[in-house]
Chains A and B, each alone.
Chain A
Amino acid sequence: MSERARLPTIGPLLWYRDPRAAIAWLETAFGFETRLIVDDGAGGVIHSELTLGDGYIMVVGPPDGRSVSPAAFGGRSTQSVHVQLDDGLDARCERARSAGAAIEREPETQPYGDRVFTCRDLEDHPWSFGQTVQALSVEEMEAATGHKIEA
C-alpha cells in the first residue's frame, strides 16, 4: 500500500445508500477512476479510493450511525465537493448530464474569472466543477464581486 502516500493530504468521504452503484456512476458521469474497494461481503463498501486528476474521494455505505445520504435526507448536505479542471469544463458538464446528473447551474463564466457548473449526483450529493479562464488580481475580484477579500 505504499502508493497510498501519493494521495493528497485531504480526501472527502461521501456516504451512499448504494455505494457500488455510486462508484459505477461516478466513473461514467464524472470520469473518476476506482483504484481500491474494500467490500464487507454483505453489500457494503467500508472503504474505497476514487481518483480524478490528482485529487481523490472515498465512497462508502450504506450509512449507519450519524451518517446519511442526501437522498434519504430531503437533499440536505453537510459538505459539497469542488473539482477544479484544467480544461474541458463544458464537455464534462455534457458528460455528467448524459449520465443523469441534475445540472443546477449551467456552465457560466463567473465574475472572479472561473467558468463553473454545479450539479447533484444520483443520490443528491452536491458537486461543483470549475476551470479558470481568466486569472484576476485580488483587487479585480473585489471590484467584480463587490466583496471584501482578505488574501
Chain B
Amino acid sequence: MSASKSAITPVVFYRDPIAALHWLEAAFGFETEVLLTDAEGKLAHAEMTFRDCNIGIGGEWEGPQLGGARMRSPASLDGAGTQFMRLNLAEGLDAHCERARAAGAVITEEPQDQFYGARTYRARDPEGHVWTFSQDVRVVSGEEMAAVSGLTIETSLRKED
C-alpha cells in the first residue's frame, strides 16, 4: 500500500493487534506508519516501520481467500511459531535489549557474541513471537566460521579482507 522500503515485508499475526502495535513501539522502537480500522474500531491492516523496513501487523483470520491457511498468534498455538524474525542493528544492541526487557519482553537469550561475528539477543513478545536482534561486531571469514563451528558453509559471497 505505502511505498515499500524493502521488497520483502513480513506480516505478523496477533490476537490483539492494536495492543501489539503499542507494545512494539515501546519495546522495540518501531513506528506505526499506516493503521486501517473498520467501523467497529477493529484493525483491518497496519504497517510499521523500522529503519529501512516495513512490518505488517494483522489479527488472526482465515477465509476462502486463504484456502486452507489459517493465520494465528503463537498465543493460540501453545507458543508454536512457523516463522521467526531477525533484525540487524547498526549499533546499541545491549541498550535495545534493556529497553525491550523494561517493556516486558521475555529475554530467552541474553546478549552474547556468536562465532559468526555478530552479537545477538533473542526475545519473545507478549503473544510469543520470537525476535532475534543482531549486531555485527567483527568480520569472520568463512574458513574461520567453519573451523570454529564444525559446520559446512556454502556461499556465493566473496570474502572481502
Contact = CB atoms under 8 A, between A and B. Distances in A.
A125 B83 CA distance: 9
B84 A76 contact: no
A146 B40 CA distance: 12
A19 to B, nearest CB: 13
Looking at chain B, what size class is its interface with the partner chain? 35 or more
Contact of A104 (B50, B55, B65, B83): B65
Question: Which applies to chain A's interface (DSSP): helix, strand, loop or mixed?
Answer: strand
Contact of A34 (B87, B128, B136, B156): B156
Given A8-B8, A147-B36, 13 more contacts: A1-B117, A7-B88, A8-B6, A9-B52, A13-B83, A13-B84, A13-B86, A40-B152, A73-B80, A77-B83, A141-B1, A146-B39, A147-B44
Looking at chain A, what size class is its interface with the partner chain? 35 or more
A81 B8 contact: yes
Of A52, A77, A145, A151, chain B has the most CB atoms within 10 Å of the CB of A77
Contact of B9 (A38, A41, A84, A102): A84
Lowest 9 A-B CB distances belong to which pairs? Answer: A55-B8, A53-B7, A55-B7, A12-B10, A79-B83, A84-B4, A10-B53, A8-B6, A9-B51
Given A2-B160, A147-B38, A10 B4 contact: no
Nearest to A125: B82
Contact of A105 (B65, B142, B154): B65
Contact of A10 (B34, B44, B70, B87): B87
Contacts of B112: none
Contact of B65 (A10, A41, A118, A148): A118
A114 to B, nearest CB: 7
B69 A67 contact: no
B102 interface: no
A41 B152 contact: yes
A36 B155 contact: yes
A74 B70 contact: yes
A75 interface: yes
Contacts of A5: 136
